[in-house]
Chain A
Amino acid sequence: MEPLDGNSIGGLLIDVFGADMTGANGTCGTCGATGPVAEQVVYRQAPGTVARCRACGAILMVFVKVRGMTCVDLTGMASLDRPRAA
């Protein structure tokens, strides 16, 4: 199963952040690469959704739905910009 990209979690990101984040820039806490969330490597077929840095493969975001509530772990990101207004 090939991974997708951050476009595929647009709805999930709205659930968690309350705004579209696909165009927001994130910085990898492991290698420092910066780029739009849309370009992250996303694995969806798992007990949770995992977004990885396209440059180094490090985990940036993990989303798990626990008893109906989406929990997100962002500790892999050094920073995540606010999305620019549409």
Chain B
Amino acid sequence: MSPISRGFHRRHAPEGEEGRLPPGQYLTEGFPVLSAGPTPHTPLANWTFSITRSGETKGSWTWQELQALPAETVTVDIHCVTRWSKFDTGWRGVSVDTLLDRVEHDGRYVMAFCDGGYTTNLPLEDVTGGKAWVAFDYDGKALAPEHGGPARLLVPHLYFWKSAKWVRGLDLRDRDAPGFWETYGYHMYGDPWREQRYAGD
């Protein structure tokens, strides 16, 4: 039985609004950088975002083409599986609906793929209907590389490991398959309100 360390407490911000914090989370004022590998640095001239299906590219946008699409500014709460949450984060990006509307697409799931090899899986309906963006600005400034810049997926209603950093596209699938962290034991869906952190939760 560990002794209580007199006077020790976690770094934390004051209590959040009741009901706004999912179970097991605490509020942070910082913006922690979590990574499983080195920060990629793809030059914007080489950057593309693609929608793929069975090895075929259904649609692809260069950086300029992405910037020319209608973008939205959103303010959302985000929740990391490592238990920190951050309220009222401001992002600007292109809704995934905007991208999918421009390509013929089917399938029930997507696998987000990224520079550096990271992947994460989501149901198609969780990245549509105004629930997901390809975000390139954070807090009014260009998204920093350590936070996923030039662009990351933003899916705030799920744990933040689903908001894949350095995203380069979505691969449409018929079946759900585990992405990077899901393969190592994290939950296939990841709803913070049902505290779905690990497979089997």
Contact = CB atoms under 8 A, between A and B. Distances in A.
Contact between A and B in the complex (any CB pair below 8 Å): yes
A47 B161 contact: yes
Given A62-B184, A66-B198, A47 B82 contact: yes
Interface string B68-112: 000000000000011000000000000000000000000000000
B186 A64 contact: yes
A72 B186 CA distance: 13
B126 interface: no
Q: Which secondary structure characterizes the binding site on chain B?
A: loop
A45 B147 CA distance: 13
A64 B185 contact: yes
A3 interface: yes
Contacts of A43: 35-37
A3 B36 CA distance: 9
Contact of B186 (A1, A45, A47, A73): A47
Given A1-B146, A57-B37, A64-B184, 12 more contacts: A43-B35, A45-B32, A45-B34, A45-B35, A47-B34, A47-B81, A47-B161, A48-B184, A64-B185, A66-B199, A67-B198, A73-B184
Interface of A: 1, 3, 43, 45-48, 50, 52, 57, 59, 62, 64, 66-67, 71, 73
